[in-house]
Structure 1
C-alpha cells in the first residue's frame, strides 16, 4: 500500500541513505540534500512516499514567493526533488505517489489551485511519468542550470469538477 506523509523523525535514517543511479543525479536532489534545504527554508515541506509504512521515495512541496520565479500567479505549489530510492525503482511508486498527490494537497493546502513542476528536456522518463498522471505541458519553457526545461501543470480544480460530476 502506497501512502504520502509529512517526513517524521523515524523516516530520516532511511531517507538519508537513499541512492540514485548516476544518470538521475543531474536531474534531482538526494533527500539528504533536499532536507537540508527544507530546514533552511520554511516554505519547503518534505514529503515521504511510503510503501507499507517504509520510505521508498521523497519529494518537496514548495509554496509562496519562490514559485513566482517560475510562474507569476497565486495559488500554486511547486513539486521539487522527486526521488525514488534506487533499490525501489521500477515498482511504480513514483506514479502511484503522483496519483495520490492531488488529493493530499487538497486536504493539506486547501487554497492551492494548481501544482506544477519543472522537468529537464533530457529527462524523458520523468516527463513521461508526469504526463501519464495528468500533468500538462502548456508550452512554458525556461533554461535551467543544465539546459532547457519544461514547466508542467496539474489543475487541482479538475478534481473538484470530476467529483461534482459524480454526485
Structure 2
C-alpha cells in the first residue's frame, strides 16, 4: 500500500510542485502550488502531501486576518489551496491526507483546536471529501473568486 504523509514544504519538492497539473474545472476552485508558493506570507505554512516520498498534493495552513471570515475562534487555522496533481487523482491521496491532518496539526500547531476551510458550492467532489473526513458545514457562507463558498469546520 502506498504510504501517504504530510510534510513541510522544502525546496526538494519545488520541481514536482512546479509541474503540477489540474483540470480546467479544478483550476477555478484552487491555486496551483507554484502560484501559491511565490506569494506565501509568514502567516502561511505550505504543506506537501507525499505518496511514497513523491509530492502528489499540496495545501497551505494559515492563521491570519483572513480567518475572521471563517470563524470567531482565535485558535483555529485555515486550510487553503488543497490540490492533488491530475496524474495522482482518484487514488485516495486527498482522503488519506485529510485523515492524517488532525494528528499532524496537533503536533505542528499544538494550540490549534479547529481547522476551517471554504469550498465552492459548485465543487461537490471537494465537499464530499471534506464531509467524509470529519469536516462539518457551519452554515456560514462567504463569497469567493468564483462564487459562493460554504465554510466547513473540523474540531480537534
TM-score, length basis structure 1: 0.90
The answer to whether residue 120 in structure 2 is matched with residue 120 in structure 1 is yes
SS at match of 1:37: coil
- Structure having the higher Rg: 1
- CA displacement at 1:36 relative to structure 2: 1.2
- Mapped to 2, the partners of 1:100 and 1:73 lie a distance apart of 22
Aligned to 1:77: 77
Q: 4+ residue stretches of structure 1 with deviation over 6 A?
A: none
- Mapped to 2, the partners of 1:128 and 1:150 lie a distance apart of 12
Aligned to 2:131: 131
Structure whose residues are more often helix by fraction? 1
Once superposed, what is the RMSD of the aligned Cα atoms? 0.9
Aligned to 2:38: 36
- CA displacement at 1:50 relative to structure 2: 0.5
- Mapped to 2, the partners of 1:96 and 1:148 lie a distance apart of 27
The answer to whether residue 52 in structure 2 is matched with residue 57 in structure 1 is no
- Mapped to 1, the partners of 2:109 and 2:64 lie a distance apart of 12
Q: Which runs of 5+ in 2 are unaligned?
A: none
SS at match of 2:39: helix
- Mapped to 2, the partners of 1:27 and 1:12 lie a distance apart of 22
Aligned to 2:99: 99
- Mapped to 1, the partners of 2:76 and 2:16 lie a distance apart of 30
TM-score, length basis structure 2: 0.96
- Mapped to 2, the partners of 1:20 and 1:70 lie a distance apart of 26
How many correspondences in the alignment?
Answer: 154
Q: Which runs of 5+ in 1 are unaligned?
A: 157-167
- CA displacement at 1:145 relative to structure 2: 2.1
SS at match of 2:111: coil
- Mapped to 1, the partners of 2:16 and 2:142 lie a distance apart of 34
8 Å contact kept, 2:4–2:51: yes
- Mapped to 2, the partners of 1:94 and 1:140 lie a distance apart of 24
Greater CA deviation, 23-32 or 59-68?
59-68
Aligned to 1:7: 9
